[in-house]
């Protein structure tokens, strides 16, 4: 079942879901479905119960500080709109059908922006396997999954405030002794040289 077929079936089942096709111009041709965050749970229910996509294999996040770049990677199909200006966070789901031996079907969902409106509904109620992976995305990207049963940091400690996988994350400037610094490390080392006597 190709992504085009899936999108037709989804539009029959959920006319207002706002599902659109994103073409992958690369040789893999692995097209994906962009889903409105609000209708993500309905779409997942239909995919699992009607179309037999019973395995959620992978959930991951993408940080798009520049929205235009997101649509340069996954081209909108003819007649589809592009995303608005400003950055957002994107969550990707890879679904498989074990009964039909098919997959992956790639779903994308986007937050409104990267700061306050960073909510995406949690799919744990539909796919239990998303629980820890959504916690990881919450930890490293700062996507807030509404309806998640236990949304805590999973890799970093609870007191940590940053989201290390975001593009604008700056690691703590903790210079370590380098016997032979070069290139970028040399630049970093220079900033830590003691003042010349």
Partner 1 sequence: MAIDPKLEADLKSQGVHVTSFEQLINWGRSSSLWPLQFGLACCAIEMIAATMAKYDMARFGAEVFRPSPRQADLMIVAGTVTKKMAPQVVRLYNQMAEPKYVIAMGACAISGGPFKDGYNVLKGIDRFIPVDVMIPGCPPRPAALLEGLMTLRDKIAREKLIGRHRARHADPEGAAEVPVPEFGAHDLEPTANREIWNPPVVVREAGGEA
Backbone angles phi, psi at 34, to 5 degrees: -90, 125
CB of 139 to partner 1, least distance (A): 11
Q: Which is nearer to partner 1, 26 or 172 (by Cβ)?
A: 172
- Helices (H) and strands (E) in the chain — how many of each? 5, 8
DSSP 13-78: H-TTS--EEEE--STT---EEEE-GGGHHHHHHHHHHTS---EEEEEEEEEESSHHHHHHHSEEPT
Task: Kindly indicate which of the ranges 38-46, 71-79, 126-134, 186-194 contains the residues binding partner 1, using the contact rule CB under 8 A.
Answer: 186-194
Residues 6+ apart with CB under 8 A from 146: 119, 120, 121, 122
The neighbouring-strand residues paired with 62 are: 90
Interface with partner 1 includes 156 (CB under 8 A)? yes
Interface with partner 1 includes 152 (CB under 8 A)? no
Interface with partner 1 includes 177 (CB under 8 A)? yes
Interface with partner 1 includes 158 (CB under 8 A)? yes
Interface with partner 1 includes 159 (CB under 8 A)? yes
The count of residues interacting with partner 1 (CB under 8 A) is 26
User: Pattern of binders to partner 1 over 98-137, x per CB under 8 A?
Assistant: ----------------------------------------
Task: Please check whether residue 57 is in contact with residue 110, taking contact to mean a CB–CB distance below 8 angstroms.
Answer: no
Query: What are the structure tokens assigned to 102, written together?
Result: 């098919």
The one among 57, 164, 166, 168 contacting partner 1 by CB under 8 A: 164
Q: Which is nearer to partner 1, 100 or 192 (by Cβ)?
A: 192
Handedness of CA 170, 172, 173, 176 (dihedral sign): negative
CB of 118 to partner 1, least distance (A): 19
Interface with partner 1 includes 55 (CB under 8 A)? no
Task: Kindly indicate which of the ranges 9-17, 82-90, 143-151, 161-169 contains the residues binding partner 1, using the contact rule CB under 8 A.
Answer: 161-169
Query: What are the structure tokens assigned to 173, written together?
Result: 């400037």
Cα separation, 114 vs 84, whole angstroms: 13
| Interface ranges with partner 1 (CB under 8 A) | 155-162, 164, 169, 171-172, 174, 176-177, 179-182, 186, 189-190, 193-194, 196-197
């Amino acid at each position: 079942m190709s992504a085009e077929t899936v999108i037709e079936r989804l539009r029959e089942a959920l006319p207002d879901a706002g599902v659109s096709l994103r073409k992958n111009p690369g040789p893999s041709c692995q097209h994906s479905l962009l889903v409105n965050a609000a209708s993500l749970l309905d779409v997942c229910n239909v995919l699992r119960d009607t179309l037999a996509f019973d395995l959620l294999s992978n959930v991951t996040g993408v940080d798009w500080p520049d929205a235009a770049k997101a649509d340069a990677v996954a081209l909108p199909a003819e007649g589809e709109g592009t995303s608005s200006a400003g950055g957002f966070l994107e969550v990707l789901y890879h679904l498989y059908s074990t009964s039909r031996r098919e997959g992956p079907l790639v779903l994308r969902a986007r937050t409104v922006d990267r700061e306050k409106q960073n909510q995406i509904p949690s799919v744990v109620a539909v796919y239990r396997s998303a629980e820890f992976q959504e916690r990881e995305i919450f930890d490293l990207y700062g996507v807030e999954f509404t309806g998640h049963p236990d949304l805590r940091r999973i890799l970093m400690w609870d007191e940590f405030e940053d989201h290390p996988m975001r593009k604008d994350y700056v690691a703590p400037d903790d210079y370590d002794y380098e016997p032979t610094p070069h290139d970028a490390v040399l630049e970093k080392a220079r900033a830590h040289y003691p003042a010349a006597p």
